[in-house]
Structure 1
Amino acid sequence: MDQTPLLTLQDRANGFLNDIAAQDSLIQGAVLVTGSYNSAAYGDALFERLDIPFPAQLGRAVDTRKADLLAGRAMAQAAMALLHVPPQPVLSAPSRAPIWPNGLSGSISHARGRCVCLLSQDTTHSYGVDTEAIASGRSLTAILKETLNIRERAMVTQGRLPAAANATLAFSAKEALFKALYPRVGQFFGFDAAELTHAPNDARLALTLTTDLADGLPKGRSFDIHHRLTDTHVLTWLCVPAA
């Protein structure tokens, strides 16, 4: 895959974006782009420099919030380039979910200096991607108490991966699943709507619905979710039929 558009985007970002790379999405027809961003290098002029419209709703936002959104939209721009799609604005819904241009379906995530976009021209599917910094201290305690049940807390202590990585993966996978299913469900659902079925293996984990969410999304339906780890972050992603 030609990396030239990614390198060009990185050069234009004046040190704000780094390590932009196309990853193997393991999903036919979908591209997965990851990168790093430096909030300290952010300035409002970067939106114009990267040809990304500045959202009016960010007018009073703090720079870190602006940097998060710009990084995610830059990954979307890179993903479009890899799909040979002319760059188009990705607007935000009131829920902050991205509104994809016609003919595209995807998902964006950012967390503590890492950003990612999963994108496809297959609009018969919905996509979910999430990245998270591997939790520790209070963040890990919050994940264990607020997003995992008793059985899941036992599972994350099993398997080859450290418990903190497993717990963060489970949390991230639930976020990715929410993004993938939300267009179909049409309303918020909590972390308890899906349950980890076993300790994550080296490349995948599975979540099973604990309640009926919508037609075709009954209690007991399982979803396989891809994942990768670095020393500092986890990455989870999947696609599901849109209807």
Structure 2
Amino acid sequence: MTQTPLTNLQDASNGFLSDIQEQDSLIPGAILVTASYHNSAFAQPLFDAMGIPCPAKLSHAVDKRRADYLAGRAMAHSAMSRLDHPLVPITNQPSRAPLWPEGLSGSISHARGRCACLLSRDTTHTYGVDTEAIAQGRSLTAILSETLNDRERTIIAQDTGPAAANATLVFSAKEALFKALFPTVGHHFGFDAAELIAPPADNTMTLTLTTDLTKDLIKGRCFDLHYRRTDTHVLTWLSVPIA
């Protein structure tokens, strides 16, 4: 089998990463890389083996948190390699958002065994990607009661797909939108700042702002997001031009 940066990374992970794929981002110039990761295969030496620094703040963190971090940064390295960008450490801003090197803009996500990075050299846009395990039990109840409003619950009820997957998809879309808008807005805003306006279809869904966030990000502005679903997870992503 021909070795590529993606297969090389998967081999170096010693079973921690699997199914590393470059997906069609549907965004010109943007790279979308996804993978599965396995907490049972995590070990601290993997940071060195995969060429990813472990920040001092994680030195006493539980294995799950370090595994999440490693998986996300591995996706960032994968995306950088696909853009022929030097593999440099991705640190965090005070907000905990990734601090990308000059000339790159992107987003990272990880959740219960799936991870993703959306990355581009186009710094005239911001980017958001989010992956979520399909919610169940109390997590699903929280999404339905705290993330979705009455109109959104009515909209997703029109979809013939599983209710849990539909609710998780809207939650994920709002997370992706938050990541894309946060660099411009500069502060946290709630799930009620945006809402779904129509049933998702053809792997596209639209959110609209319900309030003014900045002079350009005003109530009524719409954002189209791409999405994919599997039996266990959802993935949502978008790019937003910087005004």
TM-score, scaled relative to structure 2: 0.97
Q: Could you say if the C-alpha distance between residues 40 and 193 of structure 1 is closer, same or farther in structure 2, counting changes exceeding 3 Å?
A: same
Correspondence for 1:18 = 18
Please list the CA deviations of residues 163-214 of structure 1 after superposition, one character each: whole Å capped at 9, or x if unmatched: 2111111000000000000000000000000011011113011100000001
Correspondence for 1:223 = 223
Q: Matched residue of 2:48: which SS?
A: helix
Please list the CA deviations of residues 8-51 of structure 1 after superposition, one character each: whole Å capped at 9, or x if unmatched: 10000000000000000000000000000011111111111111
CA contact (8 A) 1:159 1:201 kept: no
Q: Provide the aligned length of Structure 1 versus Structure 2.
A: 242
Correspondence for 2:86 = 86
Deviation (angstroms), 1:88: 0.8
Please list the CA deviations of residues 94-144 of structure 1 after superposition, one character each: whole Å capped at 9, or x if unmatched: 222100011100000000000000000000100000000111221111100
Question: 1:235 and 2:243 equivalent?
Answer: no
The whole-number CA distance in structure 2 between the counterparts of 1:235 and 1:122 is 22
Please list the CA deviations of residues 54-81 of structure 1 after superposition, one character each: whole Å capped at 9, or x if unmatched: 1111112111000000000000000001
The amino acid that maps onto 1:133 is A
**Which segments of structure 1 move beyond 3 Å, counting only runs of 4 or more?**
none
The amino acid that maps onto 1:130 is D
Correspondence for 1:130 = 130
The whole-number CA distance in structure 1 between the counterparts of 2:133 and 2:242 is 29
Correspondence for 1:202 = 202
The whole-number CA distance in structure 2 between the counterparts of 1:202 and 1:166 is 14
The whole-number CA distance in structure 2 between the counterparts of 1:202 and 1:138 is 29
> Which structure 2 residues correspond to residues 50-89 of structure 1 after superposition, within 5 A?
50-89=50-89
The amino acid that maps onto 2:161 is L
Query: Could you say what the CA RMSD is over the residues aligned between the two structures, in angstroms?
Result: 1.1
Q: Matched residue of 2:57: which SS?
A: helix
Correspondence for 1:103 = 103
Question: 1:151 and 2:139 equivalent?
Answer: no
Q: Matched residue of 1:224: which SS?
A: strand
Deviation (angstroms), 1:3: 7.4
Correspondence for 2:165 = 165
Correspondence for 2:43 = 43
CA contact (8 A) 1:107 1:118 kept: yes
The amino acid that maps onto 1:166 is N
- Of 162-171 and 26-35, deviating more is 162-171
CA contact (8 A) 1:160 1:201 kept: no
TM-score, scaled relative to structure 1: 0.97
Percent sequence identity over matched residues? 67
CA contact (8 A) 1:3 1:22 kept: no
